[in-house]
Amino acid sequence: MMLQRPGAARGVFAATGLPPIVWLLALFLAPLAVIWAYSFGENRTLVDIAITGSWANYARALKPLYLAILLKSLGFAALTTFICFILGLPVALAISFASPRAKLLLLLAVMLPFWTNLLIRTYALMAILRTEGLINSGIGAIWSLVPGLGPFEPLPLINNNFAVVVGLVYVHLPFMVLPLYAALDRLDRSLIEASLDLGAGHLATLFRVVVPLALPGIVSGIIITFIPALGAYLTPDLLGGTNSQMIANVIERQFRSANDWPFGAALSFLLMYMTFAALLLQSLIVRRHAGGAP
């Protein structure tokens, strides 16, 4: 067998690796660096941004008005992640213990929403939640069959915080189910059977055996769900009211309506710093779990 010369190997690596590296630098890192520099600048004119090195935009982002919106966004994202975990864990367990044919069909059902545009799915949810939507129409039809109840008042299911959380769960639930399934499907089933044979109930086995063993996948699912939910823009914009806007909607207004790119850049990078912190936390938890594994 002929061995390839080191110089030729480097040439092949350069030919295959250089284009994606250039693409990453030119179309991702360079624009990101520009926006990061803008976060330390100020508007001089409508089209001129001076990089002053000031932290004023970050200080402004932490004022009570914007801090309250940021905390509300964190609350929405945390609640969405919690609900997705509660709903997604049984689904992931059912998929992992299903027969091969059923497993394929269930995974297809979980991934099916990814094949439909998010805007279309959100409008479909609006048709369900609105005042004349399917839920209120169905309840109203049942209400009218009961004598003596009077006229039915439609439930306020849209343009509020409830609609935002429902929409976020609806959009991000597959992001939780797939990592959970990937972690649960790799578990040693003999450990679960041993726990049940030794007298532990199903709930005890779930929380004392399954959850600790699947912890890296659970953490991954939480991070993958929490980060996109925190930066969600379309869902609160279409389903939320004036008091249900999230930080991404504020960022959009700074770039488009207010033409305050430096402040919008500072808000954007606050979200990015939170993302880095979440990824660091995930890495520490996974590393600690791996270090404590037998």
Chain segment 201-227, per-residue pLDDT in tens: 878 888 888 888 888 889 889 999 999
Q: Is residue 19 part of a domain?
A: no
Q: Using 50, 70 and 90 to split pLDDT, how confident is the model at 1?
A: very low
68/151: higher pLDDT: 68
pLDDT at residue 111 tops 80: yes
What DSSP string describes the chain?
-PPPPHHHHHHHHHHHHHHHHHHHIIIIIHHHHHHHHHTTEEESSSS-EEE----HHHHHHTSHHHHHHHHHHHHHHHHHHHHHHHHHHHHHHHHHTS-HHHHHHHHHHHHGGGGS-HHHHHHHHHHHHSTTSHHHHHHHHHHHHSTT--SPPPP--SSSHHHHHHHHHHHHHHHHHHHHHHHHHTS-HHHHHHHHHTT--HHHHIIIIIHHHTHHHHHHHHHHHHHHHHT--HHHHHH--TT---HHHHHHHHHHTS--HHHHHHHHHHHHHHHHHHHHHHHHHHHHHHHH--
Q: Is residue 240 part of a domain?
A: yes
CATH code for position 245: 1.10.3720.10
Query: Model-level pTM?
Result: 0.86
Mean pLDDT of the chain: 87
Is 110 inside a domain boundary? no
Report if residue 151 sits inside a domain: no
- The verdict on residue 175 lying in a domain is yes
Look at residue 145 in the predicted model and tell me its pLDDT. Answer: 85
Domain count, the chain: 1
| Residue 124 pLDDT | 92
Query: Tokens at residue 29, please?
Result: 């890192």
Mean pLDDT of the region 246-250? 93
Tell me, yes or no, whether 109 lies in a domain. Answer: no
> Mind listing the pLDDT tens digit for each residue in 14-68?
778 788 888 888 888 998 999 999 999 998 876 788 888 889 999 999 999 999 9
Structural domain span for residue 192: 55-97+159-292
pLDDT tens digits, one per residue of 154-208: 899 999 999 999 999 999 999 999 999 999 888 888 888 888 878 888 788 888 8
Provide the pLDDT for residue 27.
87
